[in-house]
A and B are shown apart, each in its own frame.
Chain A
């Protein structure tokens, strides 16, 4: 009896501790957002959520869309494809969203894609980099992030300035890491450089000393690093410990160099980073004023500065989705899909306009985002000389 009372109290307390979710406005236009809000990449997912919220608030401040407020319905995919698919199903069926922004990781996006086709609802892909997402023939996908191939092409014009003769790769063992290794490897080989060691690390790994020791024993002059900022920090610290003297280039845009400098300190000195947003030089972005406003609003909300290099994706994703609803004239998924082809809007990263990608008749939309390179010099972020003058 005592035990039952105790258990009931615990259960009751738990339920009471949760106030039920926000009262849902009846006429708002609902945009679904699926991100990894828990698990190993929770930071990234949350930054994107923060960026999305800024976009929502700005849009609502200007009167919303079609005379109605925009509401974000945010779901956690827990970095699990099954959860991503379930979240998509819930958003589409129960909440009847006309468009979704998500789902960060490529496996999550791929898992949600059959649901998009089943119910006929478009999704704006804001981060995933796997080529197959737009090449599979799913006409409900509209991607504003660059696939690894596009990113590698963005680097190609700087290859001579870097003077790479042989490069090693250390990548996270996911579709993103492997895709980057393939794409950048191809670009290197095309320009006459060679690929040395190719090493991987598990997404949750914290000790990369073995891989670094192996890389150190080789003859390459450059190390390409593709993973999230936490692992980049650890790799750089451990590389410093082993006195690995190489040019380091990180890819994928998740390197949050400010956080890197804070947490890796001198170990980050001299490293290069491929990014899609320059929060240190917002005026250098295609729409300087918008970028500056975004950086200021982010700071005003007390969000960590380090999150800006990823948070903008949330903003641009919601911006694109809402623009699709506006052009469609109604929050109807099929109309929004047609409308997304006509979207031509300026995001924080730059102009967003979709081109056809994939098999004929079932093309997905792919935008061509701006790609930048920065370097850590004297503990600060700088545009490398060769990039600045271009």
Chain B
């Protein structure tokens, strides 16, 4: 029973980070139809940006995170403006391949710039774990959980309640009508991609201190993000948020009770099951997927 509680706690904390990774990608993949294989690289960029702010510019920990988000959003905007916009009419595979090229280039640039040695991010939190009954958790991870939740909520509010959010949703639902109503389509595309990249960077800035920084850290993040997007349904924001939690808990329980070697298989099997039984995602209203 004790083990179960700790496992569940682990799963929730892990899941929150998966959610954060997923919501950025679901917007870009679901709304813009861009298979963004470089999503993990924006995650990495956010982590290294926070690290740079902390160690090179001696910025405080709590300021480094918004700076990292800004860096990620900016990189995303540049990427959209220079690479994606000119390729707008092209097929999904061409765009995907360009993003793969960006992925390779960004990761190797990071390797060149920062070197392959993993870096540890200093945090102001004590390392003594907080004890919750038979389970325990580090204060830093509680902080990450809370901030992730706040970011997810904030993003949701932005999409649902603000004029910008409405414009975004309108553009992706019906481009022509939105354009007729005065929405600047080009701007919306850039903003959406930047938004997704910024969320990925946020995840990186938050998770960097929990784990370690190294150039290939984004690969696993990309994969988990795609899994979460499918679980929750393409373009389904709430679905991604919940999907992340589901994936985290499923992986944790699988690794804890079945086999640690096959841990990632749990995630894959969940995806396969969802795709076969309820392909529009666990939390979506039924929609055509074929």
Instruction: Indicate, yes or no, whether A interacts with B.
Output: yes
* Interface residues of A, Cβ cutoff 8 Å to B: 3, 37-43, 45-46, 173, 199-202, 204-207, 209-211, 213-214, 216-217, 229-230, 233-234, 237, 240-243, 262-263, 265-267, 304, 306-307
Contact B220 A39 (CB under 8 A): no
- Of the A-B pairs whose beta carbons lie under 8 Å apart in the complex, a sample of 16, sorted by A's number, is A3-B86, A37-B116, A38-B111, A38-B216, A42-B116, A43-B117, A205-B263, A206-B220, A211-B255, A213-B7, A213-B256, A214-B3, A214-B260, A217-B2, A263-B212, A304-B117
Closest 5 CB pairs of A and B: A42-B116, A210-B255, A263-B120, A209-B10, A43-B117
Residues of the A chain whose Cβ atoms lie less than 8 Å from the Cβ of B116: 37-38, 41-43, 45-46
| SS of A interface (majority) | helix
* Interface residues of B, Cβ cutoff 8 Å to A: 2-3, 6-7, 10, 14, 86, 108, 111, 115-118, 120, 127, 129, 131, 135-138, 141, 211-212, 214-217, 219-220, 251-256, 260-261, 263-264
Question: Taking each of B86, B111, B117, B217, which has the highest tally of chain A beta carbons within 10 Å of its own beta carbon?
Answer: B117
Question: Taking each of B10, B138, B215, which has the highest tally of chain A beta carbons within 10 Å of its own beta carbon?
Answer: B10
Contact A233 B212 (CB under 8 A): yes
How near does chain B come to A94, taking the closest CB pair, in angstroms? 23
How near does chain A come to B158, taking the closest CB pair, in angstroms? 29
CA distance A205 to B195 in the complex (A): 27
Contact B10 A213 (CB under 8 A): yes
Residues of the B chain whose Cβ atoms lie less than 8 Å from the Cβ of A42: 111, 115-117, 214-216
CA distance A204 to B120 in the complex (A): 16
Contact B136 A43 (CB under 8 A): no
CA distance A229 to B255 in the complex (A): 22
Contact A207 B141 (CB under 8 A): no
How near does chain A come to B109, taking the closest CB pair, in angstroms? 11
Complex: chain B residue closest to A210, CB-CB: B255
Q: Which of A40, A265, A306 contacts B214 (CB 8 A)?
A: A40
Decide yes or no: A242 and B129 within 8 Å by CB, A46-B115, A202-B263 being known contacts. yes
How near does chain A come to B86, taking the closest CB pair, in angstroms? 7
Complex: chain B residue closest to A14, CB-CB: B105
CA distance A87 to B212 in the complex (A): 30
Complex: chain A residue closest to B117, CB-CB: A43
